[in-house]
């Protein structure tokens, strides 16, 4: 929008010009009023950090899922690919029903849940104290961060031959692979969460006479707890992405093992059913972590748009 700001110009004695204050204020007020009226006439559909009601948020989420399923169904029935290689959601849901009713797929799901849960618990028990200490004390970070950063760039699958030789093809190998896939990222993110604590809080506690241990647990850790929960929620998703890789090596149970059995007989609908189950479980655990965050930190509900 262009507008003309008319104002009286007064000559300064050194040859410069200044705008008359009264006319300048009037022009700015007039321009602001014009912008406000324009904004009222054309409300923006998308706004930065727009607050949404829970009903609107849920409705948009359901709409997105339905649009995805509709596009998938139409593509699967369009004939662009053989239906056996790209089954629509209806075929996948039918295969999922058969897996649970006749193939004892529930035991495979429980086996995968046990592996992911145990490995992530062990990774968190290792990463949390290291992340706290590295984020709170610079000498510890300087000592360990180069090693952690180097391991963060190594693919977890590169350790499979070593784990097979060291631990065999049993459960220990799968748990170790799931741990190595997330633990170094988890250490780095938890360290960053700890570093983000405001220095004013630490200085205030030190001024009031608190010791190093008291500041660490009562100030640094407590101030970082909401960020820790968010980090654990995000990294749990990464742990699920390594599940199939861990279960395709000499495994007789689990979602990944079922998918490999389906691959031998070209049962693409069963493979997609396994993918759907992993996605649904991931969404469930993500919701549980969000609920934990909502319950444990009520003072942050407004800032998160809840």
105-136 vs 171-195: helix axis angle to the nearest 10? 40
Question: Given its phi and psi angles, is residue 49 left (phi above 0), alpha (psi -120 to 50 degrees) or beta?
Answer: left
pLDDT, position 51: 81
Structure token digits, residue 119:
């490995």
pLDDT, position 20: 47
Assess contact for 296 and 232: CB atoms under 8 A: no
| Residue 43 pLDDT greater than 70, yes or no | no
Least confident of 49-63, 87-101, 185-199, 287-301: 49-63
Distance CA 85, CA 199 (A): 57
User: What confidence tens digit (pLDDT) does each residue in 106-157 have?
Assistant: 999 999 999 999 999 999 999 999 999 999 999 999 999 999 999 999 999 8
pLDDT, position 49: 77
Residue 65: CB atoms within 10 A of its CB come to 10
User: What confidence tens digit (pLDDT) does each residue in 149-161 have?
Assistant: 999 999 998 999 9
Distance CA 95, CA 269 (A): 6
Domain ranges of the chain: 82-294
- Report the C-alpha dihedral over residues 161, 163, 165, 170, rounded to 10 degrees: -120
| Residue 4 pLDDT greater than 50, yes or no | no
| Residue 19 pLDDT greater than 70, yes or no | no
Distance CA 254, CA 115 (A): 9
Counting residues of the chain whose pLDDT is more than 90, the rounded percentage is 71
User: What confidence tens digit (pLDDT) does each residue in 52-111 have?
Assistant: 888 988 899 999 999 999 999 999 999 888 999 999 999 999 999 999 999 899 999 999
Consecutive H or E run containing 9: strand 9-11
Model-level pTM? 0.81
Residue carrying structure tokens 């004013």 = 200
pLDDT, position 37: 53
Buried b (16+ CB within 10 A) or exposed e, 257-294: bbbbebeeeebbbbbbbbeebbeebbeebeeebeeebe
pLDDT, position 45: 72
| Residue 30 pLDDT greater than 60, yes or no | no
Q: According to DSSP H, which parts of 137-170 are helical?
A: 138-152, 160-167
Residue 208: CB atoms within 10 A of its CB come to 9
Distance CA 62, CA 51 (A): 18
Distance CA 159, CA 144 (A): 21
Distance CA 228, CA 195 (A): 12
3-class SS at 19? strand
3-class SS at 107? helix
CATH 1.10.3720.10 matches 82-294? yes
Assess contact for 243 and 112: CB atoms under 8 A: yes
Could you tell me which residues come within 8 angstroms of residue 217 by beta carbon, excluding any fewer than 6 positions away? none
pLDDT, position 44: 66
- What phi and psi values does residue 135 have, to the nearest 5 degrees? -75, -25
pLDDT, position 295: 94
Q: What is the mean pLDDT of residues 22-36?
A: 48
User: What confidence tens digit (pLDDT) does each residue in 200-230 have?
Assistant: 999 999 999 999 999 999 999 999 999 999 9
């Amino acid at each position: 929008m262009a507008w003309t700001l008319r104002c009286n110009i007064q000559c300064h004695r050194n040859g410069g010009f200044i705008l008359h204050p009264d006319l300048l204020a009037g022009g700015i007020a007039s321009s602001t009023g014009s912008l406000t009226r324009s904004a009222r006439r054309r409300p923006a559909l998308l706004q930065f950090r727009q607050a949404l009601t829970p009903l609107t948020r849920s409705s948009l989420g359901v709409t997105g899922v339905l649009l995805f399923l509709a596009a998938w169904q139409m593509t699967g029935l369009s004939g662009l690919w053989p239906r056996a290689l790209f089954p629509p959601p209806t075929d996948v849901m039918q295969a999922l029903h058969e897996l649970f009713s006749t193939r004892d797929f529930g035991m495979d799901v429980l086996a995968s849940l046990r592996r992911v849960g145990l490995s992530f618990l062990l990774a968190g028990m290792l990463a949390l104290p290291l992340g706290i200490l590295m984020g709170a004390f610079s000498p510890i970070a300087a000592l360990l961060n180069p090693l952690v950063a180097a391991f963060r760039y190594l693919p977890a699958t590169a350790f499979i031959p070593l784990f097979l030789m060291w631990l065999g093809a049993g459960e220990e190998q799968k748990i170790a692979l799931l741990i190595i896939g997330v633990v170094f990222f988890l250490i780095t993110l938890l360290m960053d969460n700890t570093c983000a604590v405001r220095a004013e809080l630490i200085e205030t506690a030190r001024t009031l006479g608190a010791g190093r241990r008291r500041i660490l647990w009562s100030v640094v850790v407590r101030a970082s707890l909401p960020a820790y929960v968010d980090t654990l929620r995000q990294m749990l998703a990464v742990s699920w992405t390594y599940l199939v890789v861990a279960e395709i090596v000499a495994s007789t149970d689990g979602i990944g093992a079922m998918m490999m059995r389906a691959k031998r007989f070209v049962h693409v609908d069963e493979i997609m059913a396994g993918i759907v189950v992993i996605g649904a479980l991931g969404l469930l655990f993500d919701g549980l972590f969000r609920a934990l965050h909502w319950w444990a930190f009520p003072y942050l509900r407004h800032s998160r748009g809840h």
